[in-house]
Structure 1
Amino acid sequence: MARAGSVAELRKLVAPSVDCTRFSTDPDTVAIESIDYTPVVEGNALDWGVTGRALCGEPGGEQRAHHLNWLDTVGDMKKLQTRAKAAQQADLKDDGTLRRTASRLLVGENVAVESNDPAVRFGLYQQQFLYLNCAPGFSAPTGYRLERARVEGCVLTNYDPDNPVVGGN
Protein backbone atom coordinates (compact mmCIF):
# COMPACT_ATOMS: atom_id res chain seq x y z
CA MET A 1 0.00 0.00 0.00
CA ALA A 2 1.04 3.60 -0.59
CA ARG A 3 3.18 5.34 2.01
CA ALA A 4 4.72 8.81 2.39
CA GLY A 5 6.67 10.58 5.12
CA SER A 6 5.19 14.05 4.61
CA VAL A 7 2.55 15.99 2.70
CA ALA A 8 5.25 17.08 0.23
CA GLU A 9 6.24 13.44 -0.33
CA LEU A 10 2.57 12.48 -0.73
CA ARG A 11 2.12 15.25 -3.31
CA LYS A 12 4.99 13.81 -5.37
CA LEU A 13 3.64 10.27 -4.94
CA VAL A 14 0.16 11.09 -6.26
CA ALA A 15 1.36 13.45 -9.03
CA PRO A 16 0.55 10.97 -11.83
CA SER A 17 -3.10 10.85 -10.69
CA VAL A 18 -3.83 14.13 -8.90
CA ASP A 19 -3.30 17.55 -10.49
CA CYS A 20 -1.53 19.50 -7.76
CA THR A 21 -0.58 22.48 -9.93
CA ARG A 22 -2.71 24.51 -7.50
CA PHE A 23 -1.55 23.28 -4.07
CA SER A 24 -2.07 24.67 -0.58
CA THR A 25 -1.46 23.69 3.02
CA ASP A 26 -3.03 26.93 4.32
CA PRO A 27 -5.63 25.84 6.94
CA ASP A 28 -8.33 28.20 5.60
CA THR A 29 -7.84 26.97 2.04
CA VAL A 30 -7.69 23.31 3.09
CA ALA A 31 -10.98 23.74 5.00
CA ILE A 32 -12.82 24.77 1.81
CA GLU A 33 -15.70 22.72 0.53
CA SER A 34 -18.07 23.66 -2.22
CA ILE A 35 -21.39 22.81 -3.79
CA ASP A 36 -19.55 20.22 -5.92
CA TYR A 37 -16.86 18.96 -3.53
CA THR A 38 -17.30 17.80 0.05
CA PRO A 39 -14.25 16.46 1.94
CA VAL A 40 -14.42 13.37 4.12
CA VAL A 41 -12.47 14.97 6.96
CA GLU A 42 -14.43 17.87 8.41
CA GLY A 43 -13.57 20.12 11.33
CA ASN A 44 -10.30 19.66 13.18
CA ALA A 45 -8.19 17.20 11.17
CA LEU A 46 -6.32 16.12 14.32
CA ASP A 47 -9.61 14.74 15.68
CA TRP A 48 -9.60 12.41 12.67
CA GLY A 49 -6.02 11.18 13.22
CA VAL A 50 -4.72 13.37 10.38
CA THR A 51 -1.31 14.94 11.05
CA GLY A 52 -0.85 16.89 7.80
CA ARG A 53 -3.35 18.14 5.25
CA ALA A 54 -3.24 19.83 1.86
CA LEU A 55 -5.62 20.74 -0.94
CA CYS A 56 -4.96 20.25 -4.63
CA GLY A 57 -7.20 22.03 -7.11
CA GLU A 58 -8.83 25.38 -7.68
CA PRO A 59 -10.65 26.33 -4.46
CA GLY A 60 -12.89 28.84 -6.22
CA GLY A 61 -13.40 32.40 -5.19
CA GLU A 62 -15.01 34.35 -8.01
CA GLN A 63 -15.64 31.11 -9.89
CA ARG A 64 -16.73 27.66 -8.75
CA ALA A 65 -14.17 25.28 -7.30
CA HIS A 66 -12.62 22.74 -9.69
CA HIS A 67 -10.79 19.44 -9.25
CA LEU A 68 -10.55 19.50 -5.45
CA ASN A 69 -8.65 16.64 -3.83
CA TRP A 70 -7.42 16.56 -0.25
CA LEU A 71 -4.09 14.93 0.68
CA ASP A 72 -3.68 13.66 4.23
CA THR A 73 -0.81 12.23 6.22
CA VAL A 74 -2.25 10.02 8.91
CA GLY A 75 -0.88 9.40 12.40
CA ASP A 76 -3.82 7.27 13.58
CA MET A 77 -5.37 5.27 10.73
CA LYS A 78 -7.86 3.52 13.00
CA LYS A 79 -9.21 6.87 14.20
CA LEU A 80 -9.47 8.14 10.61
CA GLN A 81 -11.29 5.02 9.45
CA THR A 82 -13.61 5.07 12.49
CA ARG A 83 -14.65 8.68 11.88
CA ALA A 84 -14.93 8.13 8.11
CA LYS A 85 -17.14 5.07 8.70
CA ALA A 86 -19.53 7.11 10.86
CA ALA A 87 -19.71 9.87 8.24
CA GLN A 88 -20.20 7.40 5.40
CA GLN A 89 -22.95 5.50 7.21
CA ALA A 90 -24.74 8.75 8.09
CA ASP A 91 -24.67 9.67 4.39
CA LEU A 92 -25.93 6.21 3.33
CA LYS A 93 -28.75 6.29 5.89
CA ASP A 94 -31.17 8.40 3.84
CA ASP A 95 -31.30 6.61 0.50
CA GLY A 96 -28.53 3.98 0.58
CA THR A 97 -26.23 6.01 -1.69
CA LEU A 98 -23.47 8.52 -1.09
CA ARG A 99 -24.02 12.11 -2.17
CA ARG A 100 -22.46 12.84 -5.57
CA THR A 101 -20.47 15.66 -3.99
CA ALA A 102 -19.06 13.43 -1.26
CA SER A 103 -15.40 12.62 -1.64
CA ARG A 104 -14.35 9.01 -1.26
CA LEU A 105 -11.52 8.18 1.13
CA LEU A 106 -8.67 6.22 -0.42
CA VAL A 107 -6.04 5.09 2.04
CA GLY A 108 -2.51 3.81 2.04
CA GLU A 109 -0.43 2.73 5.02
CA ASN A 110 -0.08 6.19 6.58
CA VAL A 111 -1.67 8.46 3.98
CA ALA A 112 -5.06 9.17 2.48
CA VAL A 113 -6.49 11.04 -0.49
CA GLU A 114 -10.05 12.33 -0.58
CA SER A 115 -11.52 12.66 -4.07
CA ASN A 116 -14.89 12.65 -5.77
CA ASP A 117 -13.32 12.25 -9.22
CA PRO A 118 -13.54 8.66 -10.56
CA ALA A 119 -10.56 9.23 -12.91
CA VAL A 120 -8.37 10.36 -9.99
CA ARG A 121 -9.48 7.37 -7.92
CA PHE A 122 -8.72 4.98 -10.78
CA GLY A 123 -5.17 6.35 -11.00
CA LEU A 124 -4.74 6.06 -7.24
CA TYR A 125 -5.83 2.41 -7.31
CA GLN A 126 -2.91 1.82 -9.69
CA GLN A 127 -0.67 3.39 -7.05
CA GLN A 128 -1.85 0.96 -4.35
CA PHE A 129 -4.40 3.18 -2.62
CA LEU A 130 -7.62 1.45 -1.58
CA TYR A 131 -11.13 2.83 -1.04
CA LEU A 132 -12.60 2.61 2.45
CA ASN A 133 -16.06 1.15 1.85
CA CYS A 134 -18.33 0.88 4.90
CA ALA A 135 -21.62 0.13 3.13
CA PRO A 136 -23.39 -2.64 5.06
CA GLY A 137 -22.96 -6.01 3.36
CA PHE A 138 -20.57 -4.72 0.69
CA SER A 139 -18.35 -7.24 -1.07
CA ALA A 140 -16.17 -6.54 -4.10
CA PRO A 141 -16.79 -8.57 -7.25
CA THR A 142 -14.28 -11.25 -8.27
CA GLY A 143 -11.06 -9.82 -9.64
CA TYR A 144 -10.83 -6.84 -7.30
CA ARG A 145 -8.69 -6.41 -4.19
CA LEU A 146 -10.52 -6.74 -0.91
CA GLU A 147 -8.69 -6.27 2.38
CA ARG A 148 -9.71 -5.81 5.98
CA ALA A 149 -9.95 -2.24 7.17
CA ARG A 150 -8.75 -1.17 10.61
CA VAL A 151 -12.36 -0.74 11.71
CA GLU A 152 -15.06 -3.39 11.92
CA GLY A 153 -17.75 -3.17 9.26
CA CYS A 154 -15.51 -1.67 6.56
CA VAL A 155 -13.28 -3.08 3.83
CA LEU A 156 -10.51 -1.66 1.68
CA THR A 157 -10.95 -2.26 -2.03
CA ASN A 158 -9.98 -1.09 -5.49
CA TYR A 159 -13.57 -1.64 -6.64
CA ASP A 160 -15.23 1.70 -7.27
CA PRO A 161 -19.01 1.27 -7.27
CA ASP A 162 -19.40 4.69 -8.95
CA ASN A 163 -17.09 3.76 -11.82
CA PRO A 164 -16.46 0.01 -12.04
CA VAL A 165 -13.73 -1.19 -14.36
CA VAL A 166 -14.32 -4.64 -15.79
CA GLY A 167 -11.89 -7.19 -14.37
CA GLY A 168 -10.48 -5.07 -11.57
CA ASN A 169 -7.09 -3.43 -11.47
Structure 2
Amino acid sequence: MTRARELNDMNSDPTEIMSAPGSGHPRHPPASSDIAAAEALRLLGTVSFGRIAFARHALPTIRPANHILDEGRVIVAATALLSSHRQAVAYEVDTLDAATQRGWCVIVTGPAEEVTDPQLLLRYRALLEPWLPGHRIIAIDPDIVTGIRFRPGTRTPAPFTHRMA
Protein backbone atom coordinates (compact mmCIF):
# COMPACT_ATOMS: atom_id res chain seq x y z
CA MET A 1 0.00 0.00 0.00
CA THR A 2 1.34 3.45 -0.88
CA ARG A 3 1.86 6.15 1.74
CA ALA A 4 -0.77 8.37 0.09
CA ARG A 5 -3.32 5.55 0.26
CA GLU A 6 -2.43 4.87 3.91
CA LEU A 7 -3.04 8.53 4.70
CA ASN A 8 -6.31 8.49 2.77
CA ASP A 9 -7.41 5.35 4.57
CA MET A 10 -6.69 7.04 7.91
CA ASN A 11 -8.70 10.12 6.86
CA SER A 12 -5.54 12.20 7.13
CA ASP A 13 -4.46 15.13 5.06
CA PRO A 14 -0.87 14.50 3.84
CA THR A 15 -0.11 18.24 3.87
CA GLU A 16 -0.74 18.33 7.61
CA ILE A 17 1.97 15.75 8.19
CA MET A 18 4.56 17.61 6.10
CA SER A 19 3.62 21.12 7.23
CA ALA A 20 5.56 23.71 9.10
CA PRO A 21 4.21 23.67 12.67
CA GLY A 22 0.90 25.49 12.79
CA SER A 23 1.13 26.81 9.23
CA GLY A 24 -0.99 24.37 7.25
CA HIS A 25 1.54 24.76 4.41
CA PRO A 26 3.70 21.93 3.08
CA ARG A 27 7.21 21.91 4.50
CA HIS A 28 10.08 21.43 2.07
CA PRO A 29 13.77 21.49 2.89
CA PRO A 30 15.01 25.08 2.57
CA ALA A 31 16.78 26.14 -0.61
CA SER A 32 19.93 28.20 -0.34
CA SER A 33 22.03 30.57 -2.37
CA ASP A 34 25.48 32.00 -1.90
CA ILE A 35 25.99 35.52 -0.62
CA ALA A 36 28.84 37.59 -2.08
CA ALA A 37 31.56 38.61 0.38
CA ALA A 38 30.64 42.32 0.41
CA GLU A 39 26.96 41.54 1.04
CA ALA A 40 27.91 38.99 3.72
CA LEU A 41 29.94 41.61 5.59
CA ARG A 42 27.08 44.10 5.24
CA LEU A 43 24.70 41.54 6.78
CA LEU A 44 27.17 40.86 9.59
CA GLY A 45 26.98 44.57 10.39
CA THR A 46 23.18 44.45 10.77
CA VAL A 47 23.30 42.28 13.91
CA SER A 48 25.33 42.67 17.09
CA PHE A 49 25.55 39.14 18.44
CA GLY A 50 27.29 36.01 17.15
CA ARG A 51 29.52 33.09 18.10
CA ILE A 52 33.29 32.94 18.10
CA ALA A 53 35.08 29.64 17.47
CA PHE A 54 38.67 29.22 18.58
CA ALA A 55 41.11 26.59 19.80
CA ARG A 56 41.50 26.06 23.54
CA HIS A 57 43.89 23.34 24.69
CA ALA A 58 43.94 22.16 21.05
CA LEU A 59 40.17 21.59 21.05
CA PRO A 60 37.50 23.63 19.25
CA THR A 61 35.57 25.97 21.53
CA ILE A 62 32.56 28.15 20.67
CA ARG A 63 31.33 31.04 22.80
CA PRO A 64 28.73 33.78 22.35
CA ALA A 65 30.04 37.29 21.72
CA ASN A 66 28.98 40.66 20.42
CA HIS A 67 30.69 42.63 17.69
CA ILE A 68 30.95 45.70 15.48
CA LEU A 69 32.56 46.29 12.09
CA ASP A 70 35.37 48.83 11.92
CA GLU A 71 37.22 49.57 8.69
CA GLY A 72 36.81 46.02 7.38
CA ARG A 73 37.75 44.34 10.65
CA VAL A 74 35.36 42.49 12.92
CA ILE A 75 35.81 43.79 16.46
CA VAL A 76 34.58 41.30 19.05
CA ALA A 77 34.06 41.43 22.80
CA ALA A 78 35.29 37.86 23.33
CA THR A 79 35.51 35.55 26.28
CA ALA A 80 38.60 35.76 28.47
CA LEU A 81 39.18 32.09 27.56
CA LEU A 82 40.43 33.24 24.15
CA SER A 83 44.21 33.48 24.05
CA SER A 84 45.71 36.95 23.91
CA HIS A 85 48.14 35.65 21.26
CA ARG A 86 47.42 35.96 17.56
CA GLN A 87 45.44 32.93 16.35
CA ALA A 88 42.99 31.85 13.64
CA VAL A 89 39.34 32.09 14.62
CA ALA A 90 35.93 31.84 13.01
CA TYR A 91 33.06 34.19 13.79
CA GLU A 92 29.48 33.27 12.87
CA VAL A 93 26.31 35.35 12.81
CA ASP A 94 22.89 34.45 11.51
CA THR A 95 19.26 35.38 11.30
CA LEU A 96 17.07 32.33 10.82
CA ASP A 97 13.29 31.94 11.10
CA ALA A 98 12.24 28.29 11.47
CA ALA A 99 8.60 29.06 10.71
CA THR A 100 9.26 30.71 7.33
CA GLN A 101 12.53 28.88 6.54
CA ARG A 102 14.05 32.25 5.63
CA GLY A 103 17.28 33.77 6.82
CA TRP A 104 21.01 33.88 6.32
CA CYS A 105 24.27 32.80 7.89
CA VAL A 106 27.68 34.47 7.61
CA ILE A 107 31.00 33.04 8.78
CA VAL A 108 34.19 35.09 8.83
CA THR A 109 37.49 33.28 9.28
CA GLY A 110 40.86 34.89 9.81
CA PRO A 111 43.61 35.85 12.22
CA ALA A 112 42.55 37.52 15.44
CA GLU A 113 44.59 39.46 17.94
CA GLU A 114 43.84 41.31 21.12
CA VAL A 115 43.41 45.07 20.83
CA THR A 116 45.90 46.72 23.19
CA ASP A 117 45.89 50.36 22.06
CA PRO A 118 44.29 52.29 24.99
CA GLN A 119 42.42 54.75 22.75
CA LEU A 120 41.01 51.98 20.56
CA LEU A 121 40.02 49.97 23.64
CA LEU A 122 38.04 52.91 25.03
CA ARG A 123 36.36 53.48 21.68
CA TYR A 124 35.51 49.82 21.10
CA ARG A 125 34.22 49.25 24.63
CA ALA A 126 31.88 52.23 24.23
CA LEU A 127 30.63 51.01 20.85
CA LEU A 128 30.35 47.33 21.79
CA GLU A 129 28.72 47.60 25.20
CA PRO A 130 29.89 44.03 25.98
CA TRP A 131 27.17 41.72 27.30
CA LEU A 132 29.38 39.10 28.90
CA PRO A 133 31.76 39.46 31.86
CA GLY A 134 35.46 38.70 31.63
CA HIS A 135 35.84 39.79 28.03
CA ARG A 136 38.76 40.99 25.98
CA ILE A 137 38.49 43.02 22.81
CA ILE A 138 39.88 41.30 19.73
CA ALA A 139 40.10 42.29 16.08
CA ILE A 140 39.53 39.72 13.34
CA ASP A 141 40.97 40.36 9.88
CA PRO A 142 38.60 38.50 7.52
CA ASP A 143 40.54 36.20 5.18
CA ILE A 144 37.59 33.99 4.26
CA VAL A 145 33.96 35.14 4.20
CA THR A 146 31.24 32.54 3.67
CA GLY A 147 27.62 33.54 3.30
CA ILE A 148 24.49 31.57 2.58
CA ARG A 149 20.87 32.71 2.31
CA PHE A 150 17.99 30.35 3.08
CA ARG A 151 14.48 30.49 1.61
CA PRO A 152 11.67 27.97 1.30
CA GLY A 153 12.48 25.47 -1.42
CA THR A 154 13.25 21.89 -2.21
CA ARG A 155 17.02 21.41 -2.00
CA THR A 156 20.14 22.92 -0.45
CA PRO A 157 23.35 23.17 -2.50
CA ALA A 158 26.75 23.23 -0.84
CA PRO A 159 27.82 26.69 0.45
CA PHE A 160 30.30 28.73 -1.57
CA THR A 161 33.37 30.24 0.09
CA HIS A 162 34.69 33.68 -0.85
CA ARG A 163 38.35 34.49 -0.18
CA MET A 164 39.16 38.08 0.73
CA ALA A 165 42.06 39.73 -1.09
Same fold by TM (over 0.5)?
no
Larger RCO of the pair (alpha carbons < 8 Å, separation 6+)? 2
TM value normalised by structure 1? 0.24
User: Where is the strand percentage greater, Structure 1 or Structure 2?
Assistant: 2
Highest CA radius of gyration, 1 or 2?
A: 2
TM value normalised by structure 2? 0.24
